[in-house]
Structure 1
Amino acid sequence: MTEYPPSVTEHLEPASARRPAVPGRPAADEVEDSGGRPWRDRVLTSTGFDDDEGAEDRTLVAALTTPTTDAALVAVVAGSRLLVAVVAEPGAVEVGPEGLAHDASVDMALVVLTAADGTRALPAFTSVQALAAWDATARPVPVTAARAAQAAVTEGCESIVLDVGSARETALRPSMVWALAQQRDWRPAHDDPFVARSVERAVASEQDITGHGVEDGEPAAHGILRVVLTLRPGLTGEEVREIATRVGERLAADGELRARVDGLAFVLR
């Protein structure tokens, strides 16, 4: 796995600037992978885009560059081909008779962005040109949006960042990544019937809750679900905290709910 600091927080250097050359290192096509297979004339498994020339998808680019709703953006992404970046990484290093180090094996690694707090994101691109502008040494691999999202989930990435480092850089939040990975439509949490039912189940046993609802939290359109609880008058502060804690724990235990909500806030009335 090759990790970069994310461009949303700091300038990204190309991968070549982060991998200093080793004296005597052979070219990639002169070495073998960790299984002993030579890289020369290697044929990679098809991803279903054998005739793809790496051109940008105009519909996707338009969705990234013009105002639209989050739901519309995710719908366009879901039907698009994306390019993920892979780079050659040295495996074991051996020292030859002349004392020069060289790679005994080379592996292909998916590029992942890592923030200072450890948060991870998968970069994906609309075109070969967009990828090359970010890192000319990375190799593009065309995949469906679903496969890119599934890779992101597998690699522990919370988000997918499209066209990193460009004017149209756009981050897909965790709930969007999960929707793409599960190949289902994405909806804002406050407008998602599944979320509404989950909240209803979480409050059903609380006799001191006389009403509830869900709203878009703040800042708006950032995936925050605001759960509004109307409580019976006369409760003590401790009783209110206990109610909020129980409801919050039930919601947190719902894995599917967590995949559909990017953040949670309570309003008690």
Structure 2
Amino acid sequence: MAPHDHADHAHAPHDSSAARHLPGHIAAALARAGSGTDSAGQPWEGRDLGGEGNPLHNFDDDNGLADPGYEAAIADLAAGTGSEEAVHRALGTARVFIPVVASLAEDQIGEHGFVEDKEADMALVTITAPDGRTALPAFTSVARLQAWHPEARPVAVYAARAALSAVSDGAQLMVVDPGAEVTFVLRRPAVWALAQQREWIPSYKDESHLPLLRSLAAGEPAVVGITAAPGRGVASRAADGRVLPGGGPGPELRLEVTFRPGTAAADAQACAARIQAALGADRAFAEAVDSIELALASAPA
């Protein structure tokens, strides 16, 4: 399995503030930051803002370091004893930092002829994956965020809330710690599962798809069988060259279609096209699989 190095997009942030706005929960938190009153105009002074019931202050004592559970899951993955779903599970309870940057919303010409800021907004930073899709970066520590984008401001949120923001903002991927020693990409189904706070099974391990694959194989006389395996883009590469069996941006699922001996190449191609169309039309399969690669093989004579 050839690893896909996603370091190229890890260093290419772009500010998408022109087309998008911050999700409401982040905008509200930023608007109240540093203010002497809350959104209703009531003063903070003399009020107890602690306690588990106050969601805006879940991170009062945050030290800005990476979540130990996530670090352990990544270490296990690097050692070959962990899995992508274990990393996803660790993110389910982890706090991350989302980078936001100041963006000029309105300017004016001052009395000396210079452009002056009249209004400024805070905008999410996004990055572009190698296949052109939009991805939301999330950082496990303040230090990693600042090393990647010194001008960005860290906003602490639970990883599930960050995934929800990614989904609502049209980002299909979430990239954890871009530019760091280990960068882990959550592909679209994993992002959706995290946003919904439910377990995620990588498509190459999901046995619920087997009946569909068997049915498609049975419907094609020239096909002996269809097998599933991790795609070439599941693996990732750490900064030091180590290959990790997970965390890559895709292709996620490799399907090998084995044909009967003597099947003509044109017939095999037409059959593969029909199979691919059927997979795309199956809603459950399309939602559970981020991207696939088809490999055509011939059974031994």
Query: Into which bin does the TM-score normalised by the smaller protein fall?
Result: 0.7 to 0.9
Matched, 1:248 2:276: yes
What pairs up with 1:12-27 in 2 under 5 angstroms? 12=11
The one-letter amino acid of 1:251's match is L
For residue 213 of structure 1, give the secondary structure of its aligned residue in structure 2. strand
Aligned partners of 2:9 and 2:130 also within 8 Å: no
State the match for 2:24 in structure 1.
Answer: none
Name structure 2 gaps, 5 residues minimum: 1-5, 15-26, 40-53, 236-244
Q: SS of the residue aligned with 1:56?
A: coil
The separation in 2 between residues aligned to 1:69 and 1:39, in whole angstroms, is 38
Q: What secondary structure does 1:93 align onto?
A: strand
Q: Partner letter of residue 267 of structure 2?
A: E
Relative to the length of structure 2, the TM-score reads 0.66
3-state SS of paired residue (2:8): coil
Give the counterpart letter for 2:286 in structure 1.
R
Q: Which amino acid aligns with 2:278?
A: R
Cα separation, 2, equivalents of 1:14 and 1:190: 30
For 2:19, the equivalent position in structure 1 comes to: none
**1:83 counterpart (97, 101, 106):** 97
Are residue 260 (structure 1) and residue 298 (structure 2) matched? no
- Cα distance in 1 for partners of 2:13, 2:227 equals 47
1:43 CA drift (Å): 5.6
Could you tell me how far apart the structure 1 residues matched to 2:140 and 2:89 are?
15
Which amino acid in structure 2 is aligned with residue 242 of structure 1?
A
Higher mean C-alpha displacement, 232-241 vs 66-75: 232-241
| TM-score normalised over the length of structure 1 | 0.73
- Residue matched to 1:191: 205
1:171 aligns with 2:185: yes
Over the aligned positions, Cα root-mean-square deviation in angstroms equals: 3.4
The alignment covers a number of residue pairs equal to: 243
- Quick one: which amino acid aligns to residue 264 of structure 1? E
1:36-51 equivalence runs, <5 A = 41=35, 49-51=58-60
CA deviations on 1:188-209 (whole Å, 9 max, x unpaired) are 3222023324434544533443
- Contiguous gaps of at least 5 residues in structure 1: 1-6, 16-32
The aligned counterpart of 2:70 is: 60
Q: Deviations along 1:102-158, whole A, 9 cap, x unmatched?
A: 122211101111257633321111122332333333222222222222222333434
* Secondary structure in 2 matching 1:105: strand
> 1: distance between equivalents of 2:68 and 2:272?
47
Q: Distance in 2 between matches of 1:13 and 1:237?
A: 41
Where do residues 194-233 of structure 1 align in structure 2 (5 Å cutoff)?
194-218=208-232, 221=245, 224-233=252-261
Cα deviation for residue 183 of structure 1 reads 3.0
Aligned to 1:180: 194
- Deviating more after overlay: 194-203 vs 64-73: 194-203
1:112 maps to which of 120, 126, 133: 126
Question: What is the one-letter code of the residue matched to 2:58?
Answer: F
